[in-house]
Amino acid sequence: MTISRRDTIRLGALAALAAAMPNGPARAAPRVRIGTLKFGTVSWELDTIRHHRLDVANGIELDIAYFAGEDATNVALQAGGVDAIVTDWLLVSRLRSEGADLTLVPYSTAVGSIMVKEGSPIRMLADLRQRKIGVAGGPLDKSWLLIQALARRDHDLDLPAENEIVFGAPPLMSEKAMQGELDAVLNFWHFCARLEANGFRRVTGAGEAARALGASGPVSALGYAFHETWADKNPEAAGGLVRASAQAKDLLARSDDEWLRLAPLVRAEGKELETLRDRYREGIPRRPIGEEEADAGKLYRVLAGIGGEKLVGSAPDMAPGTFWQGPADGG
């Protein structure tokens, strides 16, 4: 059989490739399936990871699945459809106390605030008496409960009993506040940042309430949640996700250009983009996980005292292991 010149070149190239791989074909990087909302703030970090190949640099392949709502991501995680999502530590604790092996790593300490228009006479919590207040997230929203607890303790003010409370979706609450239909609004942090860039100011936030009620520093409201058994069986995947997340946050903390690149995804520009950038940076977790876990345990008891079983179930304390300390073997 005659071998053509083209075949000779191809065989030579294959031989060179084989020589460059003394240990055989490279092992595929572990895939980490993340469930998230298409236009949620988590997508900013995930886009940063993918754009700069931080997943590859940390030995994993990030596979992002988009969902229409938070309930869908929670169901997907519990059913094994994804490996990790970003969710509330209260939910993780409740499910853990009911037998699930969920755990989480801090994602963001950014939380909601009571916002009013710049010219409003409302300057402090006590000024909220007899007001119409919009609240995003529903009556069991963690920020709302913390602010209620602080108002009761420091001002003998029962916010739900002494005010007209309007619950609704975050965009609707912001729109009603902009139109002057509300005296004050409690919204999620990024909606508060957009309001701040458009003539609103912060009266008090859930972060301030948390520290006043016993926390020694910022506590992450959200974390990357996953099954502990998955993390123990896949330490490279879990560790790679944690490292890639930290590197993306570091880039977003120091690079203004990265925020300009993200502007179309963030759907903001100018002052609004800058305010979102600054508030995001303030929410980057910087404390040891053990300190956050201890403070979350204190806040859990405060929240359980207000929200009761509807919020936390029958567990009187935060479930041990809610915050992930690393693989079971310490590796």
Asked if 324 and 105 count as a contact pair (C-beta separation under 8 A), the reply is yes
Cα–Cα distance measured from residue 47 to residue 51, given in angstroms and rounded to the nearest whole number: 6
- Quote the pLDDT of residue 19: 41
Whole-Å CA distances, 27 to 23, 24, 31: 10, 9, 12
* H/E run at residue 183: none
Just give the CATH number of 113-212: 3.40.190.270
Cα–Cα distance measured from residue 153 to residue 147, given in angstroms and rounded to the nearest whole number: 10
| Whether the predicted pLDDT of 17 surpasses 90 | no
Print the SS3 string covering 139-161: CCCHHHHHHHHHHHHHHCCCHHH
CATH class of residue range 31-109+218-312: alpha beta
Whole-Å CA distances, 183 to 123, 129, 136, 282: 12, 11, 14, 26
Same fold, 31-109+218-312 and 113-212: yes
> Tens digits of per-residue pLDDT, 294-330?
999 999 999 999 999 999 999 999 999 999 988 765 4
Instruction: Sketch the domain layout of the chain as residue ranges.
Output: 31-109+218-312, 113-212
> Tens digits of per-residue pLDDT, 18-50?
444 445 445 688 999 999 998 899 999 999 999
pTM listed for this prediction: 0.89
Span 123-133, average pLDDT: 96
